[in-house]
């Protein structure tokens, strides 16, 4: 129900993890833990069953190919100022990653970077270009 509380309860980012652990409870492999209020998936323990994806109230958890080493750690679609006010590491939609990627694997849509795993070669140039450090 916290997903329906205005502004998601105590957290400022309306796109971020609520941190209440519904994904943790549904994971049969103990692959998810809430750390500092954010659900963190252990890639080595996860078996990609998808139960957490279905359970997440904000639809933040995605199954990404194990081989994909580069991913965006933010799902905010707020504009830059709102993001910097609410979060230290949120995507501000600056498009530096998009401009830097030699393979056209990153697009910034609605102020948030998205990686196309079919085009990404894992070169890491986007990660280096990101001023907020959200590409990991």
Per-residue confidence (pLDDT) for residue 31, from 0 to 100: 96
Does the pLDDT at position 2 exceed 60?
no
Instruction: Output the pTM of the full model.
Output: 0.74
Q: How many CB atoms lie within 10 A of CB 74?
A: 23
**Strands (DSSP E) along the chain, which ranges?**
32-35, 38-41, 106-109, 112-115
- Mean pLDDT across the chain, nearest whole number? 87
Per-residue confidence (pLDDT) for residue 25, from 0 to 100: 96
Greater model confidence, 71 or 22: 22
Span of 7-11, 28-32, 103-107 with lowest mean pLDDT:
7-11
Does the pLDDT at position 71 exceed 60?
yes
Per-residue confidence (pLDDT) for residue 82, from 0 to 100: 86
Does the pLDDT at position 93 exceed 80?
yes
The pLDDT tens digits of the residues spanning 41-66 come to 998 999 999 999 999 998 888 888 88
Does the pLDDT at position 24 exceed 60?
yes
């Amino acid at each position: 129900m916290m997903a329906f509380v205005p502004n998601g309860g105590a957290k400022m980012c309306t796109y971020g993890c609520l941190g209440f652990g519904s994904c943790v409870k549904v994971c049969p492999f103990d692959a998810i833990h809430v750390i500092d209020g954010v659900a963190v998936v252990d890639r080595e323990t996860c078996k990609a069953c998808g139960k957490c994806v279905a359970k997440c109230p904000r639809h933040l958890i995605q199954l990404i190919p194990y081989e994909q080493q580069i991913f965006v750690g933010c799902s905010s679609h707020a504009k830059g100022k709102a993001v910097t006010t609410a979060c230290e590491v949120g995507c501000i939609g600056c498009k530096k990653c998009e401009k830097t990627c030699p393979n056209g694997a990153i697009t910034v849509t609605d102020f948030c970077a998205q990686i196309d795993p079919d085009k990404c070669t894992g070169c890491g140039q986007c990660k280096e270009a990101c001023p907020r450090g959200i590409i990991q």
